Structures are given as C-alpha cells and as structure tokens.
Amino acid sequence: MDQNRLYERILGLSQPWYVSSVELNEASGEITVEVDLIDGILLLCPKCGKSCPRYDHRPRKWRHLDTCQFQTLIRSDVPRINCPEHGALTIQVPWAEDSSRYTQLFEGSVIGWLQETSIRAVSRRLGLSWSAIDGIMARAVKRGLKRRGTLDATRLAVDETSFRKGHDYVTIVSNQHGRVLAVEEGKSSSSLAQYYKSLSPAQRVKVESISMDMSPAFQKATLEYIPDAKRKIAFDHFHIAQSLLEALNVTRKSELLQVDQSLRKHAHQTRYHWMRNRHTLDIQQKSQLDALVCQLSDTALVWYFKEKARDIWKGNRVRGATTAWREWIGLAKASAIKPLQVTAGHIEKNLWGILNAMRLQASNALAEAINSKIRILRVKAHGYRNKERFKRAILFHFGGLSLEPTH
Ligand SMILES: [Zn+2]
C-alpha cells in the first residue's frame, strides 16, 4: 500500500475524494495530506442537493489527529458550486463540519479530553488556544442540543450559581435524573420564566414538582407559568436546615461573647459539633456539648429546635406534619431568641411549600450536587472569561448531551 492509499484508509476517505500527496516537513513537525476530488464528478448543492456546475474553489486546511509525533493537516481546494437557487456555496467535505478548522475525528478527541481534564490541560497538551477549544465546545453543545429532543421535565429542581464570585448569576434547571435542562441568564423571575416559555402547554401541565429555595423570584415565575403551581412548588429540607444553621451560628456567636473567658476557647472548639446531627456525634463530643449547655443555653435551645425540625421532616408523617410544624413554629416563636424567631416566621410563611415537598418527596439533593460540581469546574478553569462560555461549559458537562461529531 503506498502512502497516499494508507492515508485514505486512515482518514476514512472514499470516492470521489482521494489523497493526492503526503508531505512531511520535519522542520515544522508537520505532515500535510493533500486531498482532491476526482475530475468531472457531479457536485451537489449543500442546501437543496441539486446537481450544480462548479463555480470556483477555496483552499482550506484542517487539523487532524497527529501521526506519531507530527501534527497532521489536511489541505484541499474545496469546490464551490453555483446553485440557481442558493448561489455560490462551498460543498460539504466528509471529514469536517461546516466552518470548523478541525476534522471530526480531531474534534471528537478534544471533546473526549475535555471530559477528562481541564481546558488548561487540553490547551497545553494539544497546542490549542482557548478560543479554538471554545469553538469546539460550542459546536459540540449545539449538536447535542439539536439531537437531544424532549427530555423528562416532570420533576424539576431550580437553583442558582454565580458566574464570578459574588457577582452575576445564572439559573440552572435540572430534572430528577440529574441532567441540566437549561442554563438561563440571571436569577430573577424572568430567568426561570425563560425556561418555562420553552415548554409546550402540555409539558407545563405534566410538571409534577419544582424544588427550589424559598426566594420569591422563582415562585413568581412558577405561579405564572405552571398550572396548579401552589401544589407543586416544593421547598427542600436543605434550605430549611440551612436557615436553621444560620440561626444557630448567629446565636452561638453572640452568646460566646457573654461567657467567661476561660470557657470561650472550649466553646469555640465545639463550633462544628452543634451543626451536626446528634446521631453522628461520638460520646466525647456529646459530653463536650453537655458541659456547655448551661453556659450556652440559647445555643442549646436552637440546636434542639434544629434537631426537632429534622425529626418532623424525616418522620415522613405527611398527615401529622402540619400539626407538628405548627407546634414547632409556636414554640420557636415563644423562645425569645431573635434569630430562631425570624427563622420560625420564615418557615411559617413558607409552610405550604414545605408540606408540598414532604408530600411529593421532592428534593434538591441532585441539584445541589450539580451545583458543587459546577463550582469545582469554575475553580479548575480559574473562572470563565465570559458568561456564554460558562453557560456552555455547564451544558457540555452536565447536560447529558451526545456531543461527538458523527463520522
Ligand atoms: Zn441549492
């Protein structure tokens, strides 16, 4: 087999395309494979498929997978046809997509690497610029979204994540299978509305639950677009636990200032024990807390309410839950501990959504897991230069998309 035929096999070329020469440039470390079209072949319009006369040609180059240590390029004079209806158009080559400067096999391998490692590493190893990689990711996501079709959107979770630390946000909608369905600009009511608008009326009716934090923005959009939303909006336990932990920390910190100096260090050492579930504490940790109960009585009380709230939740007594929560709220409000009273008021106001979450067994756990993976992604990328790239990266990694070019 001569080298031209060998490269035809490697590139998977078949008639009317053939390799006319292979050149090795040792100085630049490049192999250039020249690909031509058989003379006199019928050329088809890429838009309508009609056979059209040749118009002219455009010299083009694509990077392909390396041959041993040599960067390998395909070069070809690609004909343009003159379609009576669509004008002058470049014909489609079988080894690359539209305007890409890389072959499908090369793009496929970049996509594979990006799934394994950081953009930085891929850029260094393959000698690609960040914008070249971004172009490959953009085509991959576009392809994946086009192929994706309709996804299961019956049980949704909505969450927000920041694009840069403390700045700018995006809203992430995911489903019960942990797939990101959409990444929308901002974290307002219209951010989520943007996603709901992409659903058909029938799909909106089919939505069974939407798990979210207790912020009014997401509620507003959901009430507006999802039929019977008042029975579908679910406030996950995670958010209640979070708000109780905050109350606990605020109480502990302010109480710490009033205790005897000699106790302060000891009390500080227990700061994480209070936050944990009592079943997970060992005997020593329990006795450390017991020793502080008298001095930190408010903290101990808030801790008790936190544990009690989890019991109500985990008890799964949907029927008795309303009464249990009402009792809890009443006692918490009577506690005279300001941060606990505020949290109790918050829970009272949102009790309907908390009860929905219990009844629907809706959880934000998967959405929270995606969110922490996104944070890791952002750290690994040392932040993203613009928001479009960030949104794209989320869909690339967590959209469950089929990203590879077809070959
Ligand atoms: Zn045409």
Cβ 54 vs Cβ 78: under 8 Å: no
Tell me the pTM.
0.82
Q: What is the pLDDT of residues 360-391, one digit of tens each?
A: 988 888 888 898 999 888 887 777 778 888 89
Instruction: Look up residue 129 and give its two tokens.
Output: 């610029």
Say how many Å lie between the CA of residue 140 and the centre of ligand 1.
Answer: 26
Structure confidence at residue 279 (pLDDT): 79
Instruction: State in Å, rounded, how far the first CA of the chain is from the last one.
Output: 24
Q: What rounded mean pLDDT belongs to the chain?
A: 89
Residue 166 has pLDDT above 90, yes or no: no
Q: Is 192 helix (H, G, I), strand (E, B) or coil?
A: helix
Q: What is the pLDDT of residues 272-302, one digit of tens each?
A: 777 777 778 888 888 887 777 777 888 889 9
Instruction: Look up residue 85 and give its two tokens.
Output: 């209806």
Residues 6+ apart with CB under 8 A from 117: none
Say how many Å lie between the CA of residue 80 and the centre of ligand 1.
Answer: 12
Say how many Å lie between the CA of residue 255 and the centre of ligand 1.
Answer: 78
Say how many Å lie between the CA of residue 47 and the centre of ligand 1.
Answer: 5
- Range scoring the smallest mean pLDDT among 52-61, 226-235, 314-323, 327-336: 314-323
Say how many Å lie between the CA of residue 92 and the centre of ligand 1.
Answer: 13
Say how many Å lie between the CA of residue 46 and the centre of ligand 1.
Answer: 7
Residue 265 has pLDDT above 60, yes or no: yes
Say how many Å lie between the CA of residue 328 and the centre of ligand 1.
Answer: 72
Say how many Å lie between the CA of residue 18 and the centre of ligand 1.
Answer: 25
Say how many Å lie between the CA of residue 81 and the centre of ligand 1.
Answer: 9
Say how many Å lie between the CA of residue 55 and the centre of ligand 1.
Answer: 13
Average the pLDDT over 260-269 and give the result: 77
Say how many Å lie between the CA of residue 403 and the centre of ligand 1.
Answer: 28
Say how many Å lie between the CA of residue 91 and the centre of ligand 1.
Answer: 11
Task: List the alpha helices (DSSP H) in 334-385.
Answer: 338-349, 351-360, 365-380
Say how many Å lie between the CA of residue 88 and the centre of ligand 1.
Answer: 9
Say how many Å lie between the CA of residue 50 and the centre of ligand 1.
Answer: 6
Q: What are the residue ranges spanned by the domains of the chain?
A: 1-95, 237-360
Cα of 123 vs its chain's centroid, Å: 22
Q: What is the pLDDT of residues 21-49, one digit of tens each?
A: 999 999 999 999 999 998 888 888 989 98
Say how many Å lie between the CA of residue 58 and the centre of ligand 1.
Answer: 18
Average the pLDDT over 138-152 and give the result: 89
Query: What is the band of 316 on the pLDDT scale with cuts at 50, 70, 90?
Result: low
Say how many Å lie between the CA of residue 42 and the centre of ligand 1.
Answer: 14
CA distance 330 to 139: 56
Say how many Å lie between the CA of residue 76 and the centre of ligand 1.
Answer: 22
Say how many Å lie between the CA of residue 57 and the centre of ligand 1.
Answer: 17
Say how many Å lie between the CA of residue 45 and the centre of ligand 1.
Answer: 5
Residues 6+ apart with CB under 8 A from 251: 298, 299, 302, 337, 339, 340
Q: What is the pLDDT of residues 198-236, one digit of tens each?
A: 999 999 999 999 999 888 999 999 999 999 999 999 998
